[in-house]
Structure 1
């Protein structure tokens, strides 16, 4: 599929599509049109208010969850720098993102590459797209170029979803609902609980939750659920 064809697929996917269904459709288009074994999208990727929009399968969900828990990884770097970030050498990756690499490789040792692309909304990066692949050596250069063009089209297609996110009072209506809830309202409530209980600010409370998650081998979503159950 040529780059222009994939971009057209992205544009067609959201014609007459309700905003709440846009992320899921876009994930499907990228997963189908690229040699991708997992696709994720997130907004506010490098902030505590991170919001997962979609994950194409369990591998993609794990990719999001590990980065969300340890607050490092290719998509966070892409969102911070506004530049594409490509992880194909896992030894180098282990030096740059040791917690992410250890956590994700334990779950999916067969993944050969993770490619992260910033989502530009005008002059601002408000999110990132991750593409994971089992292709040896990761995506080839021409496929990366094709993916980058498609992600630019995705950013435009996500504008209605971005507005819906900003207007939503509590739970954004994305799927899977339990993971999305943990990435959004539940986490913020849990941070408040920990901050009050431990008499610390919210940044330190979030750091403590991440440390508990990493130390126990749980995800931040699981730690959040535990806190809210007590």
Structure 2
């Protein structure tokens, strides 16, 4: 469905352009400056697109740090509204500090559903504090519902087509993160959760993205063995 109740459609062709069109619908109809859309499930948690570099980095920070409204929306299946980031700073101390440096004042995360299953999240930000009124919240929920199917199709297409162009606003499906987690697990003889935590910690402590560190591990340029 679109905002008028019909399902959002994506035409065959350029995947980044199709993802950008999905993001643009939220910006056109809501008082937000930026949007990112991600899906979960096989083969991995993936960001299909973001409207700008701030939206892309805000979503990436949540993935790297494991905290933020994105994860709360994903776990709880409910929209998470943060009209003033300073007021929720204690909920996500590391992420809150990092995302404010990007010039973000408010955050909103809306889960996407297929039936009763949460299949992804739409993350939105405002550059200044400010909430969404009841009408905007209803519109955001409708848009998230209408975007779910198209987002899943784009994610599946990106996973199966090696030739799909990927840019800074459409991060690659995170296959390497899972590969790297498995390699760290074998290197350290720890659980998968602990292996991923080590990957996150290294990325944060070195100021790099999780994807970059994972690539270095998979390329065998970085080992976690003592």
Q: What interval of TM-score do these two structures reach, taking the shorter chain for normalisation? A: 0.7 to 0.9
Match of 2:188 in 1: 198
Return the TM-score normalized by structure 2. Answer: 0.82
- Measured at CA, do residues 15 and 161 of structure 1 come closer, stay the same or move farther in structure 2, by a change above 3 Å? closer
Q: How does 1:134-145 map to 2 (within 5 A)?
A: 134-145=127-138
Match of 2:61 in 1: 66
| Cα deviation code 1:54-109 (max 9, x no counterpart) | 11110111111100100111111101101000112323322111121122112x13
Unpaired runs of 5+ residues, structure 1, are: none
Match of 2:99 in 1: 104
Q: Is the 8 A contact 2:65 2:95 kept in 1?
A: yes
1:169 to partner: Cα distance = 4.9
Residues in 2 aligned to 1:223 and 1:138: alpha-carbon distance in whole angstroms: 36
Q: Is the 8 A contact 2:36 2:50 kept in 1?
A: yes
Unpaired runs of 5+ residues, structure 2, are: 222-226
Q: How does 1:2-17 map to 2 (within 5 A)?
A: 7-8=3-4, 11=7, 14=9, 16-17=11-12
Between Structure 1 and Structure 2, which shows a larger proportion of helix residues? Answer: 1
Return the TM-score normalized by structure 1. Answer: 0.81
Residues in 2 aligned to 1:113 and 1:24: alpha-carbon distance in whole angstroms: 21
Q: Is the 8 A contact 2:50 2:169 kept in 1?
A: no
Is residue 146 of structure 2 the alignment partner of residue 153 of structure 1? yes
Is residue 38 of structure 2 the alignment partner of residue 42 of structure 1? yes
Residues in 2 aligned to 1:88 and 1:75: alpha-carbon distance in whole angstroms: 14
> Secondary structure of the equivalent of 2:118?
strand
Cα RMSD (Å): 3.0
More deviation, 61-70/126-135: 126-135
